[in-house]
Amino acid sequence: KDLVIKQTLGEGSFGRVKMVVHRPAPTAGAPEPESRSYALKMLSKQGMANKKQVKAILAELRVLLLINHPFLLHLHGTYQSRDLCYFLFDCIQGGELFKRLASSDDCTIPFKDAQFYASHLVEALVYLQSKRVVYRDLKPENILIDARGYARVVDFGFAKVMQDDDSLAYTLCGTPEYLSPECVLGTGYRFEIDLWAFGIIVYEMLVGYTPFSNDDDEVDDMMAIFKRITKATIEFPDALDDRTVDFVTAILAREQQKRLGNSLEGLSEVRDHHFFTGDIDFPAILAMKAPAPWTPKIRGIDDTSNFDDYDD
C-alpha cells in the first residue's frame, strides 16, 4: 500500500515492468522517512499458463533467490494477487548499456569506460560461477547502469543452476550474435558460454558492432550468424591496441578448453590479463569505491528518461 506506481520501464509477452516509488508512512515524532524507487515486474498468471512459462518463471525465481551481488540485479520480494505475480527489484535508473552504445555516433564508448564495465562483468561472472549459475543471455540490453555509473546484470530468464561443475547444458537459448560455438553446435556447454558472450561485449563496446554480425545493413539470417560464429576469422580495426586484441582473441577461442578463464586458474586469468593491469583495482571495483568514468543523468527518484517510452 506504500508503493506508488509510476511509468512503464519495459514490456514482455505476458507482463510489464513498472517503476514504483516507496513512500513510507511517517511516524509521529520521527524524521520523515526517505522515499525510494523500485522496479516492479508484473506477470499475468493466465499469460504464463497460456504460454507454458510457469516452470521457466519458477526457475528464474530460484536463481534470483540464490544470488546476492553488487553487480547483479537484487530481488527484494515477491507478491501475488488473484491475477498477477509481482517481483520487486532495485530500479537501475541509468538505462541500458545498449542505449548508451547506440546513442554515440559510432556506437562505441571510450576505452576507460569499456574497461570499467568489463571489470564489473568479470566480478559478476566469478560470483555466478561460484553459485553454479550459467547466465546464458549476456548482452548490452541486459546490462543496466546505476546512478553511480556502475553496471548491473539484469534479466535472469535464461539462467540455469547447474547440478555440479562437470554438468553440461544443451539448450540453444540466448541472442544469436552472442552465442558460443559449443552452444550453436549443440556439443554441450558450461560456464564458459558466458565468457564467450563477455568477449563479444568487450569487442562491441570498443568497435561498435559484434564480431560476427553482418557487414552490411541487410537483415541478418540466424544461420549465417551461426556459420560465422563457428568458422569466421575475427577482424580487428587497426585502432584497437595490442592488449585489447590479445584479450578478446584469448576469450573468443573456439575450443572451450583454450578459452581465457576456462583453465584451472579460472576467471583469475581474466582479472590478471594486461587488458586490466595498471588501470583496474578489482578490490576497489568490488567495493564500489573506484570512481566511475561516466555517470548517467538522473533527475530524481522517479526519473525514467533513460528508458524507452511505453503506453501506460
HEC profile of 17-83: EEEEEECCCCCCCCCCCCCEEEEEEEEEHHHHHHCCCHHHHHHHHHHHHHCCCCCECCEEEEEECCC
Catalytic residue among 137, 155, 194, 303: 137
Question: What span, in angstroms and rounded, lies between the C-alpha atoms of 226 and 185?
Answer: 9
Across the strands, what pairs with 259? Answer: none
Is 41 one of the annotated binding-site residues? yes
Return the SS3 of 236: coil
- Spatial separation of the C-alpha atoms in residues 258 and 58, rounded to whole Å: 35
Phi first, then psi, for residue 292 (nearest 5°) are -80, 140
Cα separation, 36 vs 205, whole angstroms: 31
SS3 state of residue 172: coil
Q: Give 137-166 as a 3 state SS string.
A: CCCHHHEEECCCCCEEECCCCCCEECCCCC
Q: What are the φ/ψ torsions at residue 222 (nearest 5 degrees)?
A: -60, -40
Tell me the one-letter amino acid at 292.
A
Q: Does 83 qualify as catalytic in the annotation?
A: no
Annotated binding-site residues for ATP read 41
Residues with a known catalytic role: 137
